Structure 1
Amino acid sequence: MHNPEDRSFIGHPRGLAYIAFTEAWERFSYYGMQALLVLYMVNRLLHPGHIERIAGFGPFRHLIEIFRGPLTVQPLASTIFGLYTGLVYLTPIAGGFIADRFLGRTRTITIGALLMSAGHFLMAFDVTFLLALTCLLTGVGCFKGNLASQVGALYPIGDNRRADAFQIYYLFINGGVIAAPLIAGTLGEKVGWHYGFGAAGVGMLIGLAIYLAGRKYLPPDSPVVEKNASTPKPRLSKRERTAILLLLLLLPVLTIAVIGNQQIFNAYLVWAQEHANLTFSGYQLPTTWLITLDSILSVSCLAGAVVFWRLWSKKYPEPAEITKISIGSIIAVTGFLALAAGTAIAAANSAKVPIGWLITFHLLNSIGFANVFPVSLALYARVAPAALSATIIGIYYLAFFAANNLVGWIGGFLEKMPAINFWLLHSALCGTAGIIFFVAGRFFGHLLAPGDNENAQSKMNRGLRSAAQPQPKTLTTNKH
Structure 2
Amino acid sequence: MTAAPLPPAQADGDGRRFAGHPMGLAYLAFTEAWERFSFYGMSALLLLYMIQHLLTPAAAGEVLGLASFRSALEAMTGPLSTQAFASQLFSLYSGLVYFTPIFGGLLADRLLGQRRTVVLGALLMTAGHALMVVETAFLIALSLLILGTGCLKGNISVQVGHLYPPGDEGRRTRAFAIFSAAINAGALLGPLLCGLLAQRFGWHVGFGAAGVLMLAALAVYLAGWKHLPADRKRPPGMHGRMPLTARDGRTIAALLLLSMIAILPCAAYYQEMNAGLLFIEASVDRRLFGWTVPTASFNALDGLFCILAVPLLIALWRRQAKRGREPGEMGRIATGYLIIAAANLMMTIPAGRADNGATVGAIWPILLYALNALGFTFYWPTLLALFSRAAPAQLNATMTGILFLSIFLGNLLVGTLAGSWEAMSHAGFFALHAMLAFAAFAIMLLVAGPLKRLLAPPPPDAFATKPQARRQTSARPLRRWA
Which TM class, normalised by the smaller chain length? 0.7 to 0.9
Q: Hey, what does 1:367 align to over in structure 2? A: 374
Conserved? CA contact 2:28–2:156, under 8 Å: yes
Aligned residues between the structures: 455
Conserved? CA contact 1:92–1:142, under 8 Å: yes
Q: Hey, what does 2:329 align to over in structure 1? A: 321
Q: Hey, what does 1:27 align to over in structure 2? A: 36
Q: Hey, what does 2:435 align to over in structure 1? A: 428
Could you tell me which of 393, 407, 410 is aligned with 2:400?
Answer: 393
Aligned-partner residue type, residue 49 of structure 1: A
Compared with structure 1, are the counterparts of its residues 185 and 226 closer, same or farther at alpha carbon in structure 2 (3 Å cutoff)?
A: farther
Could you tell me which of 199, 211, 216 is aligned with 1:201?
Answer: 211
Cα distance in 2, alignment partners of residues 336 and 46 from structure 1: 30
Alignment of 1:338 with 2:346, yes or no, is: yes
- Shift of residue 41, structure 1, vs aligned partner: 1.1
Conserved? CA contact 2:184–2:306, under 8 Å: no
Conserved? CA contact 2:185–2:304, under 8 Å: no
Alignment of 1:142 with 2:148, yes or no, is: no
Aligned-partner residue type, residue 67 of structure 2: G
Q: Hey, what does 1:184 align to over in structure 2? A: 194
Compared with structure 1, are the counterparts of its residues 325 and 24 closer, same or farther at alpha carbon in structure 2 (3 Å cutoff)?
A: closer
Cα distance in 1, alignment partners of residues 162 and 421 from structure 2: 45
Q: Deviations over 1:420-453 (max 9, x none)?
A: 11111111111222122223336x4564473775
Q: Hey, what does 2:58 align to over in structure 1? A: 49
- Shift of residue 330, structure 1, vs aligned partner: 2.1
Alignment of 1:236 with 2:242, yes or no, is: no
| Structure with bigger RCO (C-alpha 8 Å, 6+ apart) | 2
Could you tell me which of 386, 400, 409 is aligned with 1:402?
Answer: 409
Aligned-partner residue type, residue 176 of structure 1: G
Could you tell me which of 49, 64, 73 is aligned with 2:73?
Answer: 64
Alignment of 1:265 with 2:273, yes or no, is: yes
Aligned-partner residue type, residue 235 of structure 1: T
Provide the secondary structure at the position in 1 that maps to 2:333.
Answer: helix
Moved more, 105-114 or 212-221: 212-221
Compared with structure 1, are the counterparts of its residues 161 and 302 closer, same or farther at alpha carbon in structure 2 (3 Å cutoff)?
A: closer
Map 1:91-240 to 2 at 5 A: 91-99=100-108, 108-148=117-157, 163=172, 169-212=179-222, 228-229=238-239, 233=243, 235-237=245-247
Cα distance in 1, alignment partners of residues 35 and 137 from structure 2: 21
Cα distance in 2, alignment partners of residues 417 and 30 from structure 1: 30
Instruction: List alignment gaps of at least 5 residues for structure 2.
Output: 1-9, 465-480
Scaled by the length of structure 1, what TM-score is found?
Answer: 0.81
Q: Deviations over 1:297-317 (max 9, x none)?
A: 122223323333444456674
Conserved? CA contact 1:5–1:13, under 8 Å: no
Q: CA RMSD in A?
A: 3.7
Conserved? CA contact 2:180–2:381, under 8 Å: no
Conserved? CA contact 1:89–1:398, under 8 Å: yes
Q: Deviations over 1:179-199 (max 9, x none)?
A: 101111221234311111011
Cα distance in 1, alignment partners of residues 319 and 110 from structure 2: 46
Cα distance in 2, alignment partners of residues 236 and 36 from structure 1: 47
Q: Hey, what does 1:476 align to over in structure 2? A: none
Compared with structure 1, are the counterparts of its residues 318 and 204 closer, same or farther at alpha carbon in structure 2 (3 Å cutoff)?
A: closer
Compared with structure 1, are the counterparts of its residues 103 and 388 closer, same or farther at alpha carbon in structure 2 (3 Å cutoff)?
A: closer
Conserved? CA contact 1:243–1:447, under 8 Å: no
Provide the secondary structure at the position in 1 that maps to 2:151.
Answer: helix
Compared with structure 1, are the counterparts of its residues 234 and 139 closer, same or farther at alpha carbon in structure 2 (3 Å cutoff)?
A: closer
Cα distance in 2, alignment partners of residues 287 and 26 from structure 1: 22
Conserved? CA contact 1:257–1:430, under 8 Å: yes
Cα distance in 1, alignment partners of residues 81 and 206 from structure 2: 25
Moved more, 382-391 or 333-342: 382-391
Could you tell me which of 449, 456, 460 is aligned with 1:450?
Answer: 456
Conserved? CA contact 2:198–2:206, under 8 Å: yes
Conserved? CA contact 1:383–1:448, under 8 Å: no
Cα distance in 2, alignment partners of residues 201 and 342 from structure 1: 37
Alignment of 1:38 with 2:62, yes or no, is: no
Q: Deviations over 1:161-202 (max 9, x none)?
A: 984766654443332222101111221234311111011011
- Shift of residue 405, structure 1, vs aligned partner: 1.3
- Shift of residue 288, structure 1, vs aligned partner: 2.1
Compared with structure 1, are the counterparts of its residues 157 and 248 closer, same or farther at alpha carbon in structure 2 (3 Å cutoff)?
A: closer
Cα distance in 1, alignment partners of residues 54 and 441 from structure 2: 38
Compared with structure 1, are the counterparts of its residues 316 and 4 closer, same or farther at alpha carbon in structure 2 (3 Å cutoff)?
A: closer
Provide the secondary structure at the position in 1 that maps to 2:300.
Answer: helix
Conserved? CA contact 1:451–1:457, under 8 Å: no
Conserved? CA contact 1:340–1:420, under 8 Å: yes
Cα distance in 1, alignment partners of residues 385 and 23 from structure 2: 28
Compared with structure 1, are the counterparts of its residues 211 and 230 closer, same or farther at alpha carbon in structure 2 (3 Å cutoff)?
A: closer
Scaled by the length of structure 2, what TM-score is found?
Answer: 0.81
- Shift of residue 216, structure 1, vs aligned partner: 6.3
Conserved? CA contact 1:24–1:175, under 8 Å: yes
Compared with structure 1, are the counterparts of its residues 146 and 418 closer, same or farther at alpha carbon in structure 2 (3 Å cutoff)?
A: same
Q: Deviations over 1:181-228 (max 9, x none)?
A: 111122123431111101101111233344445556667767787772
Provide the secondary structure at the position in 1 that maps to 2:456.
Answer: coil
Cα distance in 1, alignment partners of residues 396 and 112 from structure 2: 24
- Shift of residue 50, structure 1, vs aligned partner: 1.1
